[in-house]
Amino acid sequence: MALQRPKGTSDHLPDGSPKLSLDTQARAFQRVTDVARGVLERSGAQFIATPIFEEPELVRRGVGETSDIVTKEMFTVYYFGEHGGFILRPEGTASVMRAYLQNGLKQLPSPLKLWTQGPMFRAENVQKGRLRQFHQLDYEVIGGDDPLIDAEAVAVMMSVVEALGLRQVTLKLGSVGDPADRERYNAYLREQFGRRRADLSPESLLRLDRNPMRILDSKSAEDQAVVRELAVRPMLDFLGEQAQAHFASVRRYLDAWGVSYQLDPGLVRGLDYYRRSAWELHHAGVGAKSALGGGGRYDGLAEQLGGPATPGIGWALGIERLLIAMTAEGLELPLSPGPHVYLAALDGALVGQVAELGLQLRSVVRAEFAYRALKPAVALRDAGRRGAVYAALIGPEEAGRGVVALKHLSSGVQRNIGLDELRDVLGGPDFVNPDFVNPDADDRTTHPQPSTNQEQA
């Protein structure tokens, strides 16, 4: 058998591929990114890109020593030499903050809104929508801690989802408090779970010491049973005054703007850098255990990375999961437009000349050409298979007269067009209305009809 791609990765395929689904359609990925880019740029975010591999310390300090990501899911890459290896980034936030600190972005107007997009890597147990290489759309706002920024971040995420047409989403909103609140909550959890040591998984026994909140989102069935039976109180009960006031303010904005959410008093995120506001977005089509996106405030992250105190907040949406959700809601993307014109020489001596014409036309329209001389019927069939709007055929007779026979494929209307006017004809409105069915398709005297269908961008 020919070599296969690694488990948990996907190929993004061209339209028409036999194994195409929306979440493997390359163009669907681009469309989602384009739609998101529009919303994010209108929200004032600028694009930033960071390397896909980083120092392991960045993720250890950023995402947290006790997180599943760091303990089980890191990919490490090595090269020849002394270096201890790099990690493939499992998420974008720590990298964006590192880049902010390293490049002195503090000097830019604050708070600074950034967005990025790209592949992330986690060595997870693979299932539908849970990949080892997946793609995130990531939005980060660095340098402000006003609750209005939190509410805006949530609203911007919802705008992206809405712009993609998704309706069946549930936003779960909570607060994970300030560090002192977390300390009190952890003390409470240690006391609670301490009574059930014998029933906890070996991993959670370690978590009990170091970060008992992690037990709450443990994937092990035995831990989940203990969590259920103990009916532990949620984090929200332990918020201090400041975190409470901040959260109340975030909620007031969201309520006033009509952004609907479910209050989730026990929300736990899988990354350790969160403080105060935290949220997850769910979709029935993706399954209850997997979120479409998630985010929150991370005011302590910059210090964790060795920088000065710098507040931040953001979110990420999983592109594969967005596409799965879009499929579940029956949202389809139109297929790629084919070439606007497909050119074919009808004689071998003209192939190079026709190709040159095709190359020139690309400054105006999408143009493809045949690599050898074709019979007219074959050229028209090939043009049709490629989804071309026009076929341009050039035989010795046309070449001698300085014209091409331009056929509008959906209507069958054909005209001879002078080489000097071809660019204008192809670059302008269609010379026939493709919705108009010409009763006399071979009548070369057909006049142009008003166009309703220009090439889709």
Which residues make up the interface to ligand HAM (CB under 6 A)?
A: 91-93, 122, 124, 129-131, 134, 136, 138, 140, 270-271, 291-296, 298, 314-318, 320-321
* Nearer to ligand HAM (CB atom), residue 15 or residue 124: 124
CB of 16 to ligand HAM, least distance (A): 25
CB of 63 to ligand HAM, least distance (A): 8
Contact 174, 279 (CB under 8 A): yes
Q: Which residue is at the shortest CB distance from ligand HAM?
A: 318
Written as one letter, the residue type at 182 is R
CB of 125 to ligand HAM, least distance (A): 9
Written as one letter, the residue type at 103 is N
CB of 149 to ligand HAM, least distance (A): 12
* Nearer to ligand HAM (CB atom), residue 129 or residue 177: 129
Across the strands, what pairs with 438? Answer: none
SS3 237: helix
CB of 46 to ligand HAM, least distance (A): 16
CB of 296 to ligand HAM, least distance (A): 5
In the block, residue with structure tokens 């989403």: 169
CB of 250 to ligand HAM, least distance (A): 15
- CA-to-CA distance for 154 and 261, rounded, in angstroms? 10
* Nearer to ligand HAM (CB atom), residue 227 or residue 268: 268
Dihedral pair phi/psi, residue 392, rounded to 5°: -115, 115
Closest among 72, 197, 179 to 124, alpha carbons compared? 72
* Nearer to ligand HAM (CB atom), residue 282 or residue 415: 282
In the block, residue with structure tokens 């300390």: 183
* Nearer to ligand HAM (CB atom), residue 10 or residue 438: 10
Contact 296, 243 (CB under 8 A): no
CA distances from 290 to 219, 238, 278 (A): 12, 26, 16
* Nearer to ligand HAM (CB atom), residue 113 or residue 321: 321
CA distances from 264 to 38, 47, 172, 267 (A): 30, 31, 6, 5
* Nearer to ligand HAM (CB atom), residue 290 or residue 438: 290
CA–chain centroid gap for 82, Å, is 36
- CA-to-CA distance for 46 and 139, rounded, in angstroms? 9
CB of 432 to ligand HAM, least distance (A): 46
* Nearer to ligand HAM (CB atom), residue 150 or residue 320: 320
SS3 176: coil
CA atoms within 13 A on the CB side of 245: 4
CA–chain centroid gap for 288, Å, is 20
What count of other Cβ atoms lies within 10 Å of the Cβ of residue 143?
18
Q: What are 186's two structure tokens?
A: 């952890």
CB of 48 to ligand HAM, least distance (A): 13
* Nearer to ligand HAM (CB atom), residue 286 or residue 350: 286
Checking DSSP bridges between strand 86-88 and strand 262-263, what pairing results, if any? unpaired
